[in-house]
Amino acid sequence: MTVTTRVKLSTMMFLEFFIWGSWFVTMGTYLGKTLGATGVQNGNAYATQSWGAIIAPFIIGLIADRFFSAQKVLGILHLTGAALLYYITTIPNFDGFFPIILAYMIVYMPTLALVNSVSFKQMTNPSKEFPPIRVFGTAGWIVAGFLIGWLGWEQSNSLILTFKMAAIASLILGLMSFTLPSTPPAKKGQKTSLSDIMGLDSIGLLKNRSYLIFFLSSVAICIPLAFYYNFTNPFLNEIGMKAAAGKQILGQASELAFMALMPLFFVRLGVKKMLAVGMIAWVLRYIFFAYGDTGANYWMLIAGIVMHGICYDFFFVTGQIYTDNLAGEKFKSAAQGFITLATYGVGMLIGSYISGPIVDKFKVSETSHNWTTIWLIPAGIAAFVFLVFVIFFTDKNQIQTKPGLDIEEPQGRLEV
C-alpha cells in the first residue's frame, strides 16, 4: 500500500466517525432542550440507528456488491447525508425532525461497511494493515466530542451546530470518496439471496447450546445498552456536568487501552470469563450512574464513562472472535452479519423503545428526572442477563489468537 493510499484511507476513517460522533452523542440533549422532545420521542429518534442497521445489508447486498463501485456509492450516500444533516437544522419540531433523521440513518449506516470494503480491497495483509487505519475512526469520534465540549455548545444551547458541523464533514467525505482507490462490486453478475444478505446461512450455529445462550445474551444485553447511548448525555447535562460530551470521550480512550490489553486476557481467561466480565461491567456502570453526582460522588460518573472499554471490548469484541472461531471459514462472514443484525438491529431497537417510556415515567419536573431509579432498571436487566449467562453457558475454551489479529468493530457500532 502506498503512502498516498494510506493517508486517504486514514482520512476517510477519521471523517466517517467524526461525522457520527459530531451529533449522535448529544442528540438526546438537543431533542430535549431545543425541540422539547419527550423520553419516548428521544428513544424513537435513537431507534433510527437500529432501523438503519437492519436496512443497511440490503443496500450493500442488492446495490453496492452487485452494480456500483464501493467508493462511488460511499460518495453518493455521504453527499445525500450532508444535505439531510443541513436540512434538519431548519426543522423546529420533533414531528418534522424524526423522518429526516430516519432517512439519514438509512443513508449513513451502509457507509460503515463500505469504508471497510474500500480499505480491505487495498490491503495485502489486513490483519496488520487495517488496525492502524481503523484507529483514525476512533480518533475522529474523540475529536468531535472534544470540540463540542471545548466550544461549550451544550451549555450555550447551541447543539444545532453539531448537525451543521457533521454536514460539512459529510460533504467533504462525499467529495473525497470519488478520489479513493477503485473498489469494483464484489459480486457483479452474481445472484444474491435473502439468506446471503441477512447471514442466515450461519443460523446452524444456534444448534450449539452455548452459542445459543451467547446469542440470546447478546441480544438481551443490547437492551440496557440502549439506555446508555440514548440518555447518558441528557443525564450528565441535567445533573450539571460541564462539557459532558468532552468527558464522554474518556470512554473511547478506555476502549483503545483495553483493546491493546485484550491479547493478554485472551491467554489467561476462557471465553466464559471474558464475556461474563463484560456483562458485569454493564451492571457496575449503571450503579455508578445511579448514585453518582457532581459533588462528592463525581468519581462515580467518570468511572461509569471510563468503564466503556470493559463493557464493549470484553463482551462485544470477545463475542465477535468467539463467533469467528466457532463459525469456521465457510460461515465467518455470514455469522458476523447475523450477530450484528440481531444485536445492533433487533436488540438495540427493543432497548430504544423500552428506555424512552421508562425515562418519561420517572420525570419529576419539566427539567429533572429520578435518575437513580432510571439507571437501576438497566442495571437490573444486565444483572439478570449476566446470571442466565453464567448459569447456562458452558464453553470454557481459550480464545485462540495470533499476532496481528484483526479485532474489528461490528457494523453499526456507537462509539459513545
Is the model's pLDDT at 404 over the cut of 50?
no
Task: Give the pLDDT band of residue 381 (cuts 50, 70, 90).
Answer: very high
Residue 254 pLDDT > 70:
yes
At 113, phi and psi to the nearest 5? -75, -35
Question: What average pLDDT does the segment 271-283 reach?
Answer: 88
Cα-based distances in Å from 407 to 1, 77, 122, 141, 189: 20, 26, 18, 18, 31
Looking at per-residue confidence, does 229 or 315 come out higher? 229
Q: What is the pLDDT of residue 183?
A: 78
Q: What is the pLDDT of residue 190?
A: 61
Q: Give yes or no for residue 411 having a pLDDT over 60.
A: no
CB 77 within 8 A of CB 110: yes
Phi, psi torsion values for 263, nearest 5 degrees: -55, -30
Instruction: Give the three-class secondary structure for 122.
Output: coil
Least confident of 81-90, 230-239, 372-381, 407-416: 407-416
Residue 207, exposed/middle/buried by CB under 10 A (0-12, 13-18, 19+)?
exposed
Report residue 68: phi and psi, to 5°. -130, 150
Rounded mean pLDDT of 1-9?
Answer: 90
In percent, the amount of the chain with pLDDT more than 90 equals 51
Give the confidence band of 239 by pLDDT, cuts at 50, 70, 90. very high
Q: Is the pTM of this model over 0.95?
A: no
pLDDT tens profile 34-70: 999 999 999 999 999 999 888 877 766 566 556 677 8
| Set of cell numbers at residue 305 | 464513562
More confident residue, 265 or 368: 368
Query: What value does the mean pLDDT of the chain take?
Result: 85
Q: How confident is the model at residue 119 (pLDDT cuts 50, 70, 90)?
A: confident
